[in-house]
Structure 1
Amino acid sequence: MKKDGQRTQQDALGTGYLEDAVRRADPDRALCARFLPASVRPDVEVLLTFHTELTRALAPARSAAIAGPMAGLIRLQWWRDVLEGARTPAHELAPPLLLALERGVFCRETLLRILAAREAELDPQPDVNVWRKMMLDGAGGLQRAIGEALGVRDEGVLVRLDACGAAYGAGAMLRHWPSLQQSGRYLFPGDEAGLQEEGEAFLSACDAASLPTSGQLAALPAVLAERDLKRGSTQAGLRRGLGDRLAVMRAGWKATRAFQRSGAADS
C-alpha cells in the first residue's frame, strides 16, 4: 500500500507523469532509478524533476547575451525561497518536494547544495577547485539525495555518493565535450585530458563496488561514468548504445538482489 505522501504526489501530478517527464529529460538517471525500491521511486522522480527545473533555469543565460545570468538567477532564487520557506510554493512540483523534506526523505541542505551548484554555473570561474565543488554539490548532491531516500545516513557513504555523482557528471561532460564547447555551459577549466583525469579521481573516490548495498543501489550512475571516462569524446553527439543500458541493467539487478537480501528493502 502506498504511503500518504506518495499518493499525494501521484494525485497532484498524475499517475506516471513524473516518470515520463524524467525519462525524456534525464534518461540515464531515469534508467538507474528503475532499480530503486517502489517505496522510494516517487520521491526520487520528484527529486530528478526538481533537478531538471533547476537546469532549465540556466537556459536564458546561455541564449540571451543581453540578459546575462540575471534571468536564471531569478528563477533559481525563487526555488531557494521555496526550499527555505520564504515563498508560497506556487508550482505543481513544490508541494511534493516540500512534503518529501517534511517526511525526512531528503535533507534540505542537500537540495540547497544542488541549487547552489546551478547558481555557480551562472558565475563561471576558471578555477578547477570551484569546478570540483560545483560537480560535488550538483551532480554529486543528486546522488547523495538518492542515498538519503534509501535511508543512508553514514556521512562517509554519502561523501562517496557525492563523488559518484560528480564522476557521472564529468563523464557526461567528457562524452559530449566537442558539442558542449559551443553551448555556453560552464565547462571544466582545462583540456579534455584534464577532465578525464578529474572524472577518474571522482570515480576512484566513490569506489562503488565496496559500498554497502544501499550505497551500491544509489551509485548506479558510476557504471555509466566508468564507460564514458574510458571512451572520452568518441561518441559525442550520439545516443547511448545498447551496451551502456545493458551494463546498467546488469549492475542494477545485482544491486537490487543484494539490497533485498540485506533486509534493507521494505517488506
Structure 2
Amino acid sequence: MSLSPIGAFARSHDPDRFLCALFAAPERREALFALIALNHELARAREATTNPMAALIRLQWWRDAIEEARLGHPPRRHEVAAPLAQAIAAGALEPGALLALVDAREAEAEEAIATEQDFVAWLRGTAGGWSAAAGLALGVDAAQGEVLRGLGAAYGLAGALRSITAHAAQGRCLLPADRLAQVGLSAEAVIADPGVPAVVSLVREMAAEGLVALGAARRDVPAGAIAAALPAVLAQRDLARLARGRTVPAGRGVLDRLAVMRRGAAGRL
C-alpha cells in the first residue's frame, strides 16, 4: 500500500488508529491521518518536555497553527502542520474540534488530575475528542459525534491504565488523586513504584468499571463513520485483559488486528 508522508507518520506513531482509519472512505483517509498525527504531537507535548510550562508552550504552538490555518494563512514548516493545514483549508477537518483537542491536553501539564470527574473529562476531551473529531470529518452530526466521544474515551481509559508504568518512568501519574487516596496511594507513590498491589488492584477495578460503561454505550454508529468508532474494539479487548489482571502487549497481536478488521469490514461495532 502506497502511503503519503502523513499516512506513513500516522502508521509509525499510532498504529492502532491508523488501522482504524483504513476503514474510512479513501477520500477521507488523508484527513484522518492528519488528525492522528496532530493527536500524537499533542500527546507528546508533556512527554517531550521537562516542565509543565514548556508543555503549555508546545500546545500553544499547535493552537496558533490551527488558528492560522482556519484564517487561510500559509502553513507552518512542519511535517504535521502542513498536511493539517491542507485538511483544514479543504474543509475536511473542523478547526473547533481540533482546538478542543489542544485544550483537553492542558490537564496533562497540571501536577495531578484531582478528581475522577476531572479524569473522565480528560478522557472525553483527548481520546474521546479524537473520535468525535474523526466522526465530524466522516460526516456525522453533533449528536452522533457525542456517541463517538464516549466510545473513544473508553480507548483513552485503556491507554491510561496500560501506561501507568511508562508514565511513572517519565515522572507522571495520570490517575485521579481521589481514587488513589481511596486505596491509600498518592501520585508520588505510584511514580515511585507502579507495581505495588494497591495499584494493580485499582487498575483491575477501573478497567472493570470501564467495561461496564462501554457495554452500556450506544453503538448506533453510521457505517460511513465506523473508522472513528473502531478504537472501541481495542478498548474492549484491553479493558478485559486489565480487569483480569493481565498486561496488554506493547505491540498488537494478530487477534487484536483481526477483531478491528472484522468490525471494520462489517461497518458496525
Q: Which TM-score bucket, shorter chain as reference?
A: 0.7 to 0.9
1:205 shift after superposition:
5.4
1:211 is the counterpart of 2:197 = no
Matched-pair contact (CA < 8 Å) for 1:161–1:215: no
Equivalent in the alignment of 2:169: 182
Q: Distance in 1 between matches of 2:115 and 2:55?
A: 22
1:111 shift after superposition:
0.6
5+ residue gaps, structure 1, are 1-13, 259-267
1:112 is the counterpart of 2:99 = yes
One-letter amino acid matched to 2:238: D
One-letter amino acid matched to 1:80: R
Equivalent in the alignment of 1:7: none
Equivalent in the alignment of 2:31: 43
Distance 1:192 1:25, change over 3 A: same
5+ residue gaps, structure 2, are 180-201
How well do the aligned residues superpose, as a CA RMSD in angstroms? 2.4
**Secondary structure at the residue paired with 1:126?**
coil
Out of 216, 226, 236, which is 1:226 matched to? 236
Matched-pair contact (CA < 8 Å) for 1:160–1:205: no
Out of 256, 260, 266, which is 1:244 matched to? 256
Q: Distance in 2 between matches of 1:89 and 1:251?
A: 36
TM-score scaled by length of structure 2: 0.79
Matched-pair contact (CA < 8 Å) for 2:161–2:203: yes
Q: Distance in 1 between matches of 2:213 and 2:99?
A: 21
Q: Deviations over 1:130-169 (max 9, x none)?
A: 111111111111111111111112x221101111111011
Equivalent in the alignment of 1:254: 266
Matched-pair contact (CA < 8 Å) for 1:174–1:196: yes
One-letter amino acid matched to 1:235: T
Number of residue pairs aligned between Structure 1 and Structure 2: 236
Q: Distance in 1 between matches of 2:77 and 2:138?
A: 26
1:79 shift after superposition:
1.0
Distance 1:156 1:186, change over 3 A: farther
Out of 199, 209, 225, which is 2:210 matched to? 199
Matched-pair contact (CA < 8 Å) for 2:134–2:228: yes
Matched-pair contact (CA < 8 Å) for 2:23–2:227: yes
One-letter amino acid matched to 1:118: R
